[in-house]
Copies of this chain bind each other. A is one copy, B any other.
Amino acid sequence: MSDTWAPVSFERTNGKTPLIVVCEHASKEIPPEFSELGLKSQHRASHAVWDIGALSMAREISAALDAPLVFGGVSRLLYDCNRPPEAHDCIPEKSEVVNVPGNVGLDPAYRKARALLIHDPFHKAVEGLIDAQMQRLGCPIAVVTIHTFTPIYHGKPREVELGFLFDENEELSRAACRLEEKRGVYRAALNQPYAAADGVTYTLLRHADDRGLPSTMVEVRNDLVDTHDKASCVGKHLAETILQSVNEILPTREIAV
Q: Tell me the A residues contacting B by CB distance below 8 Å.
A: 1, 3-14, 31, 33-34, 59, 73, 109-110, 112-113, 116-117, 120-121, 124-125, 127-129, 131-133, 135-136, 138
CB-based contact A6/B9 at 8 Å: yes
Alpha-carbon distance A127/B127, docked complex (angstroms): 17
Cβ contact of A113, chosen from B8, B113, B132, cutoff 8 A: B132
**Chain B nearest CB, measured from A156 CB (Å):** 35
Q: How far is the CA of A133 from the CA of B33 in the complex (A)?
A: 14
Residue ID in chain B nearest A129 by CB atoms: B117
Question: Is B120 within 8 A of A128, CB to CB?
Answer: yes
Contacting pair B3 A6 (CB below 8 A): no
A31 touches B3 (CB 8 A): no
In this complex, the member of A1, A10, A14, A133 whose beta carbon has the largest number of chain B beta carbons within 10 angstroms is A10
Distance between Cα atoms of A130 and B205 in the complex (Å): 28
Chain B residue with Cβ nearest A10 = B5
Chain A binding site: helix, strand, loop or mixed by DSSP? helix
Rounded to whole Å, the gap between the CB of A28 and the closest CB of chain B is 15
Q: Could you tell me if B10 and A6 are in contact, using CB atoms closer than 8 angstroms?
A: yes
A-B contact pairs, 12 of them (CB 8 A): A5-B9, A6-B8, A7-B125, A10-B31, A13-B31, A14-B33, A14-B34, A109-B136, A113-B133, A113-B136, A120-B124, A121-B124
Cα separation A59 to B3 with both chains bound (whole Å): 10
* A105 CB to nearest chain B CB (Å): 15
Interface centre among A1, A59, A125, A127 (most CB of B within 10 A): A125
List the B side residues contacting A10 at CB < 8 Å: 4-7, 31, 117
Central interface residue in A7, A8, A116, A121, by most chain B CB within 10 Å: A121
- Within the complex, the shortest CB–CB distance from A36 to chain B, in Å, comes to 14
Instruction: Give every chain B residue within 8 A of A109 (Cβ-Cβ).
Output: 135-136, 138
Residue in contact with A112 in the complex, picked from B5, B6, B113, B132, CB distance below 8 Å: B132
Closest to A114 in B: B132
**Could you tell me the distance between the alpha carbons of A116 and B4 in the complex, rounded to whole angstroms?**
23
Q: Which residues on the B side are within 8 Å of A120 (C-beta)?
A: 124-125, 127-128
Contact of A11 (CB < 8 Å), options: B3, B14, B125: B3
Chain B nearest CB, measured from A91 CB (Å): 14
